[in-house]
Amino acid sequence: MYNEKDIIAQWNADMYDLNETDTDDVELALMLMGAMPKKVLEIACGSGRFLVPVAKAGHDVTGLDFDAYMLEKITHKITTEKIKWHKADVIYDDWGAGFDVVILGANFLFNIVSDMNYEQAQKLMIQKSADALVVGGYIFVDYAYPKYPEKCFHNPNPIVIWEGSDSHGNFGKMTLLDNVYDTENSIARSVRRFDMILADGSTLVQEIPSEKHFIMLEQIHQWLDEAGFVIEQECGDYQGNPISEMTNRAIIWARKIR
């Protein structure tokens, strides 16, 4: 997921599957999609947290992700002809076409891993979504959107993201260090540190610098407009409340009109 070593990537996939279990975003997306079966594409589908319940709801779903350890987990969760997934680099690989819904969920636009300029990669995800959709199809964007990013991302204290043992007996901890926010350029910088005690008793440490572009809401609106979308619903949480100082998401449901 973060260009980490294989044994860390495997641990990371297990930790993601154990810790990321919320369903509020999935339930909101399913409500917006409606009961009629749709052809759905999820970008960065991971271990299927979103993909699997959408398939179980009767939609024909395809997931793309470059993390093979994440994708392996989908096999054990569902068996149906309505679901398929592929290992792919969503920046450079083709997504296909003819979809009714494209999902850019789980804060993916702030968690892109690529050698491309971050802001360009974010904009590209909106355009490729449009290219993959039929006219009249929808994009679902779920983006972490604190009203004051400088307060959220500027934190000198270590932040432990995950800690625990994986299915192979490897114990690890993932920590964010040196969190700073460049207000002028809307860039959040940090170091992602992995501390591992492996099943054989050896230790492994890896530090990965991270630099991410925080998209202002007006910029997302502009990219959607340029890609041929019109926003039909926008909210700041999964209960449908408007974006405000009290919310921390930007959830957008937009229709492709051209």
Tokens 């192979």, located at residue? 168
Interval 51-76: pLDDT, tens: 999 999 999 999 999 999 999 999 88
Q: What is the dihedral of CA 228, 232, 237, 239, to 10 degrees?
A: -150
- Structure-token pair, residue 125: 């995800």
Segment 139-146 shows an average pLDDT of: 97
User: CA-based Rg of the chain, rounded to a whole angstrom?
Assistant: 18
In this predicted structure, the answer to whether residue 180 has a pLDDT above a threshold of 80 is yes
Alpha carbon dihedral 183, 184, 187, 193, in 10-degree steps, equals: -60
pLDDT for the residue numbered 81: 78
Cα Dmax for the chain: 58
With pLDDT > 70 as the criterion, what percentage of the chain qualifies?
99
Instruction: List residues bridging with 256 in a β-sheet.
Output: 229
Q: What angle do CA 180, 185, 214 make, to 5 degrees?
A: 70
**In this model, does residue 1 exceed pLDDT 60?**
no
The answer to whether residue 107 scores a pLDDT higher than 90 is: yes
CA atoms within 13 A on the CB side of 159: 14
Length of the chain: 258
pTM, 2 dp: 0.96
Mean of all residue pLDDT scores within the chain? 95
Q: Looking at this protein, which amino acid is placed at residue 41?
A: L
Residue located via tokens 């959408």? 54
HEC string of the chain equals CCCCCHHHHHHHHHHHHHHCCCCHHHHHHHHHHCCCCCEEEEECCCCCCCHHHHHHCCCEEEEEECCHHHHHHHHHCCCCCCEEEEECCCCCCCCCCCEEEEEECCCHHHCCCCCCCHHHHHHHHHHHHHHHEEEEEEEEEEEECCCCHHHHHCECCCEEEEEEECCCCCEEEEEEEEEEEECCCCEEEEEEEEEEECCCCCEEEEEEEEEEECCCHHHHHHHHHHCCEEEEEEECCCCCCCCCCCCCEEEEEEEECC
Q: Which distant-in-sequence residues (6+ apart) come within 8 Å of 157 by Cβ?
A: none
Q: Say if residues 241 and 233 touch (Cβ distance below 8 Å).
A: no
pLDDT digits (tens, 9 = 90+) for 186-242: 999 999 999 999 999 999 999 999 999 999 999 999 999 999 999 999 999 999 999
- For residue range 122-137, list pLDDT tens digits in order: 999 999 999 999 999 9
